[in-house]
Amino acid sequence: MFNGKSILVTGGTGSFGKKFIKVLLEKYKPKKVIVYSRDELKQFEMQQVFNDECMRYFIGDVRDEKRLARAMEGVDYAVHAAALKQVPAAEYNPMECIKTNVQGAQNVIDAAIACNVQKVIALSTDKAANPVNLYGATKLCSDKLFSAANNLVGARPTRFAVVRYGNVVGSRGSVVPFFRKLIAEGAKELPITDPRMTRFWLRLEDGVEFVLKNFQRMQGGEIFIPKIPSMRITDLCEAIAPGVPTKIIGIRPGEKLHEVMCPADLYYDTLEFPDHFVIKPAAPMLGVDYAKNALGEEGRPVSDGFAYDSGSNPHFLTVEELREMNP
């Protein structure tokens, strides 16, 4: 699907972007891969590793629609991974988060339509479902923008979809590198917000594969949600630092005990497939049957009041499984 095609990744120097491009170059022979991001140092460092002839590095901000439109000229597929995602920072700097995560999303949409990009997938987060913090609220807005954008394209070929998933193992700014740093510095205890806390848990490579697959599945407007395991924060601590005691510091502003990916309030728009869920768009495209995707896979409506949350997930990782996922 990606052989001979041009692919753009906003936020391409982040954890997801680098892994996505690595897999893309290993499995396909793209015509061009464009990294679109703000940080020249991260781009310089990335160039030392990803220096294939097809690689292009564009310095630009998703807040800049003109620069985005220039970068998207001739692009076939785009992944929107750029975001401000640190929950405390978003609470303290709300308008900056809105400019990047909401206005930036609309700029990506407008540039993609103007440049006749074929397919765009935007990355979302479990924090966008029933959001209680500003970051989650901006990502919900972004999800809604991308889902509704399919009704703006007219006769143009561009289609938009969203991929929503949970915490990524070892991603930049996540809890695993933080815990490891504390242990390396000789910490005698690990700080946790609440011992009851659970999270969805996903390996980065699995997230990348899910996004790649959904380029084939998408018809326009869907929110794709993978079926992935949950973990307990106490089990994660035991996996990383066996026998080290924990210290309860209390839930941070904007944090939940359990994360949600399919809200119960949207059960009537949720479809279950063998390895994933789909939330149908509030304004569906005419003539599209979301119960059967572009690959011919068939889904079925979930039961009344169904919710997919990390606390009631039927699949929890054991301490040993967590240890294997966090080598």
246-248 vs 190-192, strand pairing mode: parallel
Q: Which of 18, 119, 127, 139 is catalytic?
A: 127
Residue 6 pairs in a beta bridge with: 32
CA 98 remoteness from chain centre: 17
199-217: pLDDT as tens digits: 999 999 999 999 999 999 9
* Model pLDDT, residue 173: 63
Tens of pLDDT, residues 172-203 = 667 888 898 999 999 999 999 999 999 999 99
Determine whether domain 6-166+202-227+263-307 maps to CATH 3.30.70.270. no
Q: Of the given ranges (13-22, 167-176, 251-260, 270-279), which has the lowest mean pLDDT?
A: 167-176
pLDDT of residue 26 exceeding 70, the answer is yes
The pLDDT score that the predictor gives to residue 252 is 81
Average pLDDT over residues 54-82: 97
- Write the pLDDT tens digit of every residue in 87-145: 889 999 999 999 999 999 999 999 999 999 999 999 999 999 999 999 999 999 999 99
Q: Over range 261-282, report the average pLDDT.
A: 97
Question: What are the residue boundaries of the structural domains of the chain, listed by start?
Answer: 6-166+202-227+263-307
Residue 283 — pLDDT band, cuts 50, 70, 90?
confident
pLDDT digits (tens, 9 = 90+) for 34-67: 999 999 999 999 999 999 999 999 999 999 999 9
**Percentage, residues of the chain above pLDDT 70:** 99
Mean pLDDT of 146-169: 94
Instruction: Tell me whether strands 230-232 and 246-248 are parallel, antiparallel or unpaired.
Output: unpaired
Give the pLDDT band of residue 327 (cuts 50, 70, 90).
Answer: low
What's the confidence (pLDDT) of residue 172? 67
- Residue 127 known to be catalytic: yes
